[in-house]
Amino acid sequence: MTIYSDKTLSQKIERTAALSNADFVESRAKLFPQSGAEWIEVAGVYAMFDAIDSPATQTFGLGLFDEITDAEMDTIEAFFKERNTPVVHEVSPMADPAIIPLLNKRGYQPIEFSSVMYQEIDPANFSAQPQNSQINTRLINEDEVDFFAGISTNGWSEEMPEYAEQMLEFSRVGASADGALSFIAECNSEPMATGTLYIYNGVAALAGASTIPSQRNKGAQTALLDARLRYAIENDCTITIISALPGSQSQRNAEKNGFRIAYTRTKWQLFSDQ
């Protein structure tokens, strides 16, 4: 069956993004009850507070499921303002066109774009065996959350060493989330890379790609992609999704592996009240 980039697809993608973020927020609340992490749903919008400086503190689904008026916006904005955090929305171009003038009227500005990509999962495209027999990929055990978080943080620490502690905590929270399926790639029992998979309603979301600097360009992420897609097929998924910065190496890598751009999502932030 041909999958088209339309509102139906966007609803599946944005709801999957919302559910994975909600699971992350709930994981934070369990691990750090004092954090105040929580989320609410307003007119089909998932509004999530993880921490003031967390990328998970935002909304998904604005104007995509139900009508949004000033009343709903007041409720959503109050949720964030009560927690002294910026008000940020990830908005699909498939949302109700009335959202744009509403955001402009209320003092929002676009601050970021992301390429939302998808691939129809076809079991016929996968051989019986993994592509690289020298790299072992596996799901982590329940007692390997810290091990996974350490590998993931190692992969990012070279680019952003000043955020190493924050990223370590972020990785622990993510790997502990109910919906997270955390994979690692190893060669000769040595860790190489990490990758995460979330599955909701037949949609598989890829995230958490990180490779230890000394292990880059050895096929670890290709092996992890293969492993996660196989897992998705085994669990009756029909679509896999991923997002990246437009024109980035991550986007190019995804396109090389058969992903198509569904649409460009815009992140809007409130800078001045109406």
DSSP 54-87: -TTSEEE-TTTSS---HHHHHHHHHHHHTTT---
Confidence (pLDDT) at 18: 98
The token pair that represents 69 in the structure block: 């008026």
Which tens digit of pLDDT belongs to each residue from 221-251? 999 999 999 999 999 999 999 999 999 988 9
Crossing angle (nearest 10°) for helices 145-157 and 164-176: 140
Of the listed ranges 17-31, 64-78, 107-121, 159-173, the one predicted with least confidence: 159-173
Residue 82: its H or E element: none
Backbone torsion region of residue 107, taken as left when φ is above 0, otherwise alpha when ψ lies between -120 and 50, otherwise beta: left
pLDDT tens-digit map of 197-225:
999 999 999 999 999 999 999 999 999 99
Three-class SS state of 10? helix
pLDDT at residue 78 tops 70: yes
Tell me, what's the pLDDT at 134? 86
- State the Cα–Cα distance between residues 262 and 117, nearest whole angstrom: 5
| Phi-psi category of residue 208: left, alpha or beta, with phi > 0 → left and psi -120 to 50 → alpha | left
Q: Is it the case that residue 50 has pLDDT exceeding 90?
A: yes
Phi, psi (rounded to 5 degrees) for 150: -65, -40
pLDDT in tens, 98-130: 999 999 999 999 999 999 999 999 887 765 566
Distance CA 179, CA 195 (A): 14
Q: What confidence tier does 89 reach under pLDDT thresholds 50, 70, 90?
A: very high
% of the chain with per-residue pLDDT over 90: 85
Query: For residues 25 and 50, is the Cβ–Cβ distance under 8 A?
Result: yes
Domains of the chain as residue ranges with CATH: 7-116+264-270 (no CATH), 123-237 (3.40.630.30)
Q: What is the mean pLDDT of the chain?
A: 94
**Look-up: residue for tokens 């929270």?**
173
